[in-house]
Amino acid sequence: MKLKDLVKGLNVLEVEGDMDVEIKDIAYDSRKAKAGSLFVCIEGFKVDGHKFIPQAIENGTRAFLVQKDVDVPDDATVVRVKDTRYALASVADIFFGHPSSKFNLVGITGTKGKTTTTYMIKSILEAFGQKVGLVGTIANMIGHEVLPTDRTTPESYDLQELFSEMVQKNVNSVVMEVSSHALELHRVSCCEYEIGVFTNLSRDHLDFHKTFENYLNAKIKLFGMCKKGLINIDNEFGPKVVDSARCEVYTMGIDNKADLRAVDIVHHPDSVDFTVVSPWFTGDVRVNIPGKFSVYNALAAIGTCALMGVPFEYIKKGLEKVTVPGRAEVLDIKKDYTVMIDYAHSPDSLENILTTVKAYAPGRVVCVFGCGGDRDKTKRPIMGRISGQLADFTIITSDNPRTEDPDAIIRDIEEGIKQTGGLYTTITDRREAIKYALMNAKPKDIILLAGKGHETYIILKDKTIHFDEREVVRDILKELDSGNN
């Protein structure tokens, strides 16, 4: 494809060189740039791609998309634009032939519930007979083929490449998590969304967005990119999203004012039943994930699939079958106490899971959790306070400390839990913290391992180590059982 065709639609500020040059691929990492590549220079937060132009030139690249003045050989072509992040999304979309226009694309945004909702929608659409692609935190999937992922929403080029592969493998619909980072950094620009979903909004990611208003405004961008929007009106920010949306809007909630409502809700220790009332149908459903938050996630999935024309019988069937790794996941340990893994890593999500577990716990609720390093520090004492108030015993430990001192993070959490008078201890090593919880478990206790969920690693200052809590629990129990024999 010729460079002049790739940059159509961009506000080009300046051109140097031959626009008829043939482009064989696109790279935003200079190590992957080669002869025939268009190297898009992204100005990152830590690394500026413009500084790696010499490496790309050495590799044979002679076409560059930039947002700064640069020096290149006389035989190179340079196209300068205002924002290369958006430009990368645009040229990638064109290069791969606008793949998101060739299937039904659904985007889920919100602080909590994105992952679970995408899995619910995928399960329903598969029950309906569709082949479904999924893009999200746990994994990317094409039907039942699982592809690894390292971020909630891929970079725009990688996303469009993935979409292209999904088209080639005859996917009917794609459901994806859309993070606030992705919206702000143009990772999903040029995507053609049929439906956008707003699950909720609470404090998170302020290390990146700086203010809550910025965080909210990033989420709202999705509803200027989709044809139809489904918005949780019960969330305090839902009305603002509705007012700001530039698409056809439907609302959901546990409220008479919503278009899609859950009524007659019955909670069970391992599931929740309710009746859904909608413009399309009324019927009873069961979700095998407990808690009020599961009702909202299910409403989002039900509304999305109804807007896609899925009959109620398939919605009901899909919801009954869905499972989500690391979300209220009960481990099969064959003990007289329960171990549950959940991804809760924000104040609201920790409060939700603890409230749900507390309502049905026949014994104590023991909460093992920590907070990630290099992230919003203000939520640490808040989460300490929540665990101190709701759990019977808390073990504060490490999560992904990254470049921070784990003990310093723990001290931040302690500030909150001390205000409650709740019982707690601190054990920095996460494996030892889990071992302590298992060694001291009493019959009918529920031990909640919060924060890691589906993750199978811990990010340290200088490396990332393997850490799957399912494996850790099994290994510790094997040690304890052999020690008792």
Same domain, 157 and 286: yes
Place of tokens 């094997």: 478
Extract the residue ranges of the chain whose pLDDT is less than 70: 203-210, 484-485
> Does 9 count as an annotated binding residue?
no
Same domain, 128 and 12: no
Same domain, 26 and 148: no
Of the residues 62, 95, 128, which one is the last residue of a structural domain? 95
Residue-by-residue DSSP string for 388-427: HHH-SEEEE--S--TTS-HHHHHHHHHHHHTTTT--EEE-
C-alpha angle 141/142/147, rounded to 5°? Answer: 45
Q: Please answer whether residues 298 and 120 qualify as being in contact, where contact means their C-beta atoms are separated by less than 8 angstroms.
A: yes
Q: What is the CA radius of gyration of the chain?
A: 24
**Spatial distance between the Cα atoms of 344 and 369, rounded to a whole number of angstroms:** 9
Same domain, 186 and 301: yes
Pairing of strands 260-268, 271-277: antiparallel
> Does 202 count as an annotated binding residue?
no
Q: State the pLDDT at residue 153.
A: 86
Edge to edge, the sheet with strand 12-16 lists 12-16, 77-81, 63-66, 37-40, 25-27
Of the residues 289, 321, 353, which one is the last residue of a structural domain? 321
> Does 137 count as an annotated binding residue?
no
Same domain, 60 and 81: yes
> Does 358 count as an annotated binding residue?
no
User: Which residues touch 29 (CB under 8 Å, ≥6 apart)?
Assistant: none
Same domain, 80 and 192: no
> Does 484 count as an annotated binding residue?
no
> Does 179 count as an annotated binding residue?
yes
Q: State the pLDDT at residue 191.
A: 98
> Does 173 count as an annotated binding residue?
no
Positive/negative CA dihedral, 187, 117, 391, 422: positive
Same domain, 317 and 333: no
Same domain, 89 and 166: no
Query: SS3 helix, strand, coil % of the chain, rounded to 5?
Result: 35, 25, 40
> Does 101 count as an annotated binding residue?
no
Identify the CATH number of the domain in which residue 422 sits: 3.90.190.20
Q: How many CB atoms lie within 10 A of CB 169?
A: 12
Coil, strand, or helix at residue 85? helix
Identify the CATH number of the domain in which residue 140 sits: 3.40.1190.10
Q: Please answer whether residues 141 and 147 qualify as being in contact, where contact means their C-beta atoms are separated by less than 8 angstroms.
A: yes
Residues of the domain holding 421 = 329-484
> Does 399 count as an annotated binding residue?
yes
Q: State the pLDDT at residue 203.
A: 61
The closest alpha carbon to 189, from 95, 42, 90, 82, belongs to: 90
Share of the chain above pLDDT 70, in %: 98
The closest alpha carbon to 390, from 459, 450, 330, belongs to: 450
User: Which residues touch 306 (CB under 8 Å, ≥6 apart)?
Assistant: 260, 278, 280, 281, 312, 315
> Does 180 count as an annotated binding residue?
no
> Does 261 count as an annotated binding residue?
no
> Does 253 count as an annotated binding residue?
no
Same domain, 246 and 129: yes
Report pLDDT digits (tens) over 269-319.
889 999 999 999 999 999 999 999 999 999 999 999 999 999 999 999 999
> Does 116 count as an annotated binding residue?
yes
> Does 84 count as an annotated binding residue?
no
Identify the CATH number of the domain in which residue 26 sits: 3.40.1390.10
> Does 375 count as an annotated binding residue?
yes
> Does 110 count as an annotated binding residue?
yes
Same domain, 147 and 77: no
Task: Output the CA–CA distances (angstroms, integers) from residue 356 to 43, 145, 267, 360, in the order listed.
Answer: 44, 33, 9, 7
Query: Number of folded domains in the chain?
Result: 3
Same domain, 170 and 298: yes
Same domain, 169 and 278: yes
Q: E-assigned strands of 17-59?
A: 25-27, 37-40
> Does 221 count as an annotated binding residue?
no
Of the residues 95, 110, 142, which one is the last residue of a structural domain? 95
